[in-house]
Chains A and B, each alone.
Chain A
Amino acid sequence: MPTGSFVIYFDVENDNKYTGTPVAHQTKNDLDAHGTFLDLVRLPQEDGADYYKRLQSVIPLRGGSDQEGLIHGITRELGLEELIGLKITPVTSGGVWRAPAPRIDITSTHIILYSDYREGNLSASTIDLSVDIHSHGSGYLMSDVVSAIQGSEFFVAELGPYMTGKEKANGLVPMSSNTVVPKEWVKGNTYWFFENSDIVPGSISFTEKLIFNTEVSPEAADLIDSGITFSYSVNTPVSKDGEYYIDYINGSCVSYSSSSGRGTCRYSHRNFPMQVRWSPVVVYSLRDDNYKEKVFEDEVMPDDWSYHGLTTAEGSDVFEQTFQGSNSLWGK
């Protein structure tokens, strides 16, 4: 059609005018290539910055088949965001923690604050406070959790930087303030540092039993007056073969004989202030005893023995929902 021969007809349907609704047309770019590599596809019409943020979280917050991995994975795949929900710090007085051996456990139903946690001996440990975060109990919303913990003389809690306090507290990701280091190489020296500080007393075991045979206590090492720390050059706490001394706060070790450098040790240490993650996705494990208490009626038998009996109202609801979605049948 030559120029100028064009006529517009406004009043009749014609081939020169069209009104329609555009539809999304997703093109792939280099972010999607990163997504392929990290196994995270873009959500329909997802904004570049949001996808970029989700991609950034793949490596630090690994998805997996355990409870934490499922929370990370599901949250990310749904385009939701995990946040730092809570920050819990032990209260100090005179430069040391008021609690003799603090530990915080976040279970699927409770926040348990130990003031005196004995490694491997739960019955001797002292629980300072236990906050129910599952039911409409003391800690239903995040702000309730914070005020509940204010009641403790050993711990203080505050909301994470991007929380409003209106979030439901059962989204707190189960974790513990104490982390087990299953294997760490012992450095071939007489004075060295662990890779972590705040080590839990009584949690350390060495493979080189002859070099690390007798632990010298601060009292025996005559270090009590100068606090628990010491200056290696001034007062060596060890005096004969097999003796070793551990500064649990700073995470250092002094032994009389030098380690070979090929031995390992195992210990647990505390991470304070503790940062508790929060996710809008809540995952329960049906093998979790804490959760079982909520979904089964506790049948208390003579001699203080109990077992989980019939399901509670919540429990039957959960099971009904779960098995509606799968082809499993009761009893099969």
Chain B
Amino acid sequence: MLKSLQNRRSWVTQRLANRYPAWSRLRKLAQSVGQQLLSAAGREMEDAYWWTNYNLGNYLLNTSDPYQLEGLERLILPTTFTFRTQEDSDAILYIAPELVRGKLSNDTWVTLSQATDNSIEEFWFSEPARITAADESYDYLPVIPSTTVSDLSTVVPKNPSIAGKLWVSLSNNGAAVKNYKGRIARSTIEITGRDIHGKVAKERLKFAFNGTVQTRLAWSEISTITTKYIDSVAQIRIDWLSANQTDFLNTYGLHITQDREKFRFWSILEKSFGTVLQHKVFSPSDFLSVQEGDDVKHAEHEVALFSESNANISASNMVSWPKRRYVILTDGEKLHFFIPDVPTPDYLPLLDKTEDVACQIYTSSEWAVKGDSVSLETNLKRAFIRVHRTRWSVVRPDGKRFGLDSNGNEITYSTSAWTENVGTTREKKMGLGEDPIEYTFQMDGRYTFYLESTISDILSETPRYTDQVDVKIIEASKDIAQKSVYLPVSVGTVSSVGFDAYNRPWVINQAGVAHRLNFHWDTYLADFASKMLYTRDSYESLEVLA
């Protein structure tokens, strides 16, 4: 597994949790002890799921990844060369070379880093470190610019500059499933033309949602586009790059709620402080509600995006990197590589929680982004309890601790700020009935809420007071780019980034010119025992300093 994936919440965790009863904390709460345990297995299973899918894709040529592990360069070190070693009690460990650098064809030297943990997966499937412009550029003209269906007959499709699979986008189409004279039919776009070998071809694309679908056939020319069961106000666009899409379907994962499995989309959203990555979800299985026109995607999570140097990003465009784990954003001069899954909070503060705490924190949501509000309520876990006093407090990402008044305002955290005689439960356990506290996140990062309480058992003759603490962590999610890499100056200021039908990266600059890019990793994989170094990029010479 890529190291950067290890602290991400996996969608499989909730799928495993959904095998538990609906009333269990494990199923309901992501911060439950049960889900923390399951997340380790869920993370590993998602990784196995991803690789199974990837390998199944490679089983057919049409769905293969063109950039599988291949074409390495190898430096064979002389037999007299010795790596540094470290003698442990049970083994001798090799130590990575102090310096490995490679000379490029323009006589500049770049420093190579060892692939994380010397792992092949990190070596081949991680993010690049350097970007150059490839010798290929075109004026970017979509095959069909965004066109209203009623005007479709007036548009002459352009030939794609790179013949291959195309991206067909549908937007502003009401329900994807139409009831036409009693017949239930899906929205369909049919394209005819010539494939990459010049043969007459026809393909029908069905749309379950407003979004983008990649064609199955590879096209060199589109001659006609016909629509069926699509609103006349809907808009169609056909591109030869995956750039300029509004959202990207994640074909390798799902979004799992406590009761349903949904498709997951990624998109970016502009906020006052910068760009957030939005996780939208769509449930196609609910046929009835879809028929009623409820096929919009709902935003589920948002994550504030930061560059590698920990500054807010104002991104103009994003793209999902096909057959890889990353999404790529551009702010005009750099490409930022992100793992799009939600980061898992650090659960360490949960250790402050009293075991078997009766007076618990209940929150409206377990996920948030800067600017969001959350409502905090008390929830009693057991019946026949008297709550003598409670005290709310929060530790903000800056480490400062504040008390919370009943309006959610931050007040000085002091020994006196208790709410006395809060309430009593009788036969049933229940909430205490006070108004929820509304608290707004002003910063990025981890907020830890504390609910301190003093309770007693109402059934005992002489009340025995117990002090308890409940803790809940809510992360105002923030994600730092795995890498932020400068684009070559020659491509100009970039407005969007995309991939072509052969998974090669491209950028479109503000003048509307599409430039193909070359990614370079500048990493090496060391075979210490056989005294060899493998690199991905080619260098005129390599210098190794043990």
Chain A: residues with CB nearer than 8 A to chain B? 1-3, 6, 8, 15-27, 29-31, 34, 45-49, 51-53, 55-57, 60-61, 82, 84, 161-162, 275, 277
Residue from A2, A20, A61 with most neighbouring chain B CB atoms (10 Å) = A20
Distance in angstroms between the alpha carbons of A74 and B403 in the assembled complex? 79
Q: A16-B545, A22-B539 are in contact. Are A31 and B70 (CB under 8 A)?
A: yes
Distance in angstroms between the alpha carbons of A47 and B64 in the assembled complex? 14
Are B540 and A49 in contact, with the CB atoms below 8 A? no
Nearest CB in chain A to that of B545: its residue: A17
Query: Is B159 in the interface zone, CB < 8 Å from A?
Result: yes
Are A25 and B534 in contact, with the CB atoms below 8 A? yes
Residues of chain B contacted by A3 (CB below 8 angstroms):
84, 86, 95
Interface segment among B33-41, B147-155, B190-198, B364-372: the answer is B190-198
Are B71 and A23 in contact, with the CB atoms below 8 A? no
Interface size on B, residues (CB 8 A): 55
Query: Is B68 in the interface zone, CB < 8 Å from A?
Result: yes
Interface segment among B74-82, B249-257, B393-401: the answer is B74-82
Distance in angstroms between the alpha carbons of A30 and B77 in the assembled complex? 29
Are B74 and A49 in contact, with the CB atoms below 8 A? no
Are A31 and B66 in contact, with the CB atoms below 8 A? yes
Residues of chain B contacted by A21 (CB below 8 angstroms):
75, 540-542
Query: Is B504 in the interface zone, CB < 8 Å from A?
Result: yes
Q: A20-B542, A27-B70 are in contact. Are A56 and B220 (CB under 8 A)?
A: no
Q: A2-B86, A30-B68, A31-B64 are in contact. Are A20 and B546 (CB under 8 A)?
A: no
Task: Give the residue of B61, B87, B502, B542 whose beta carbon is less than 8 angstroms from that of A19.
Answer: B542
Contacting A at CB under 8 A, from B502-519, are 502-504
Query: Is B126 in the interface zone, CB < 8 Å from A?
Result: no
Task: Give the residue of A23, A27, A48 whose beta carbon is less than 8 angstroms from that of B66.
Answer: A48
Distance in angstroms between the alpha carbons of A46 and B545 in the assembled complex? 31
Distance in angstroms between the alpha carbons of A311 and B478 in the assembled complex? 79
Residues of chain B contacted by A34 (CB below 8 angstroms):
61, 64
Q: Name 11 extra pairs, CB < 8 A, besides A2-B86, A21-B75, A48-B65.
A: A3-B84, A6-B546, A15-B82, A16-B82, A21-B540, A22-B539, A49-B503, A49-B504, A56-B61, A60-B199, A84-B198
Query: Is B58 in the interface zone, CB < 8 Å from A?
Result: yes
Residues of chain A contacted by B78 (CB below 8 angstroms):
15, 18
Distance in angstroms between the alpha carbons of A117 and B514 in the assembled complex? 46
Are A275 and B73 in contact, with the CB atoms below 8 A? no
Are B545 and A8 in contact, with the CB atoms below 8 A? yes
Are A52 and B543 in contact, with the CB atoms below 8 A? no
Task: Give the residue of B87, B502, B538 whose beta carbon is less than 8 angstroms from that of A2.
Answer: B87
> How far apart are B21's CB and chain A's nearest CB, in angstroms?
43
Task: Give the residue of B70, B84, B198, B535 whose beta carbon is less than 8 angstroms from that of A48.
Answer: B70
Contacting A at CB under 8 A, from B332-349, are none
Distance in angstroms between the alpha carbons of A179 and B87 in the assembled complex? 77
Nearest CB in chain B to that of A29: its residue: B68
Task: Give the residue of B55, B61, B71, B544 whose beta carbon is less than 8 angstroms from that of A18.
Answer: B544
Q: A22-B535, A49-B504, A277-B198 are in contact. Are A15 and B80 (CB under 8 A)?
A: yes
Query: Is B85 in the interface zone, CB < 8 Å from A?
Result: yes
Query: Is B141 in the interface zone, CB < 8 Å from A?
Result: no
Residues of chain A contacted by B73 (CB below 8 angstroms):
22-25
Query: Is B287 in the interface zone, CB < 8 Å from A?
Result: no
Residues of chain B contacted by A53 (CB below 8 angstroms):
502
Distance in angstroms between the alpha carbons of A29 and B59 in the assembled complex? 11
Distance in angstroms between the alpha carbons of A27 and B535 in the assembled complex? 12
Distance in angstroms between the alpha carbons of A51 and B534 in the assembled complex? 22
Distance in angstroms between the alpha carbons of A3 and B541 in the assembled complex? 29
